[in-house]
Structure 1
Amino acid sequence: MPEFSWPDRSQMPASEDIDRSWPATVSALPLGSHVTGRVVGRQPFGVFLLLDGAPNAVGLAEITAMPHPMELPDLGATVAGEVIWHADHNRQVKIRLDDWKTPR
């Protein structure tokens, strides 16, 4: 298995469904809400997630929220985190993974 891969389109919601559901996604997943999901793609900049309970939502956990020396979760891993942003331009829910939170 390659270290990096784009999400398999057969696992992803159709772009029209993501666009149509975007207002409901933002409403259902406000900033600060806790989500869980499955890693469906890994890139050098972060991981793509299919979010539980939000069938037409795509999450992205970017490495900008990942402390050193942590690593990206594996493809297929179930993860949890906090919604930190809604990227309107590409309809992504930005997530900070619980495993990436630094101790206070």
Structure 2
Amino acid sequence: MPAADLVRKSWEATVAALPMEARVTGEVIGRRPFGVFTRVDGVPHAVAPAEITAMPQGMDLPALGAFVSGAVHWHTAHDHQVKVRLDEWQAADE
């Protein structure tokens, strides 16, 4: 995970680089019961969680080190996170 102070200082640049619906790719760098965190390619200080609330029933969270892609679907300024909906979750919903 990037250092919290770098994430906070880079927030405006992160939002500018990752507007709503922007396509992102990255590596899973953290797994929690509520979702996964990814390091976004090309935006080194971005924290991009994909929350389990967006995951279809019966699917598993991507493994640590997995490369994933998706789209930005929300910015949360209070914790400086860019929420992502993963492509594999979108495909399973359709």
- Normalising by structure 1, we get a TM-score of 0.86
User: For 1:43-75, what per-residue CA distance to the aligned partner results, in whole angstroms no more than 9, with x for missing partners?
Assistant: 110001110000010100001110111110000
The residue number in structure 1 matching 2:77 is 88
**20, 35, 57: which one pairs with 1:68?**
57
Comparing 57-66 and 12-21, the one that deviates more: 12-21
Give the secondary-structure state (helix, strand or coil) at the position aligned to 1:42: strand
CA distance in 1, matches of 2:21, 2:70: 9
Identity of aligned residues (%): 58
Deviating above 2 A after TM superposition, structure 1's stretches of 4 or more consecutive aligned residues are none
Name the SS of the counterpart of 1:31 in structure 2: coil
Larger Rg: 1
Structure 1 equivalent of residue 47 of structure 2: 58
Q: Does 1:23 align with 2:47?
A: no
SS in 2 for 1:69: coil
**Alpha-carbon shift at residue 76 of structure 1 (Å):** 0.4
Residue 3 of structure 2 aligns with an amino acid whose one-letter code is: A
Gaps (5+ residues) in structure 1?
A: 1-11
Corresponding residue pairs, total: 92
Unpaired segments ≥5 residues, structure 2: none
Q: CA deviation at 1:14?
A: 1.4
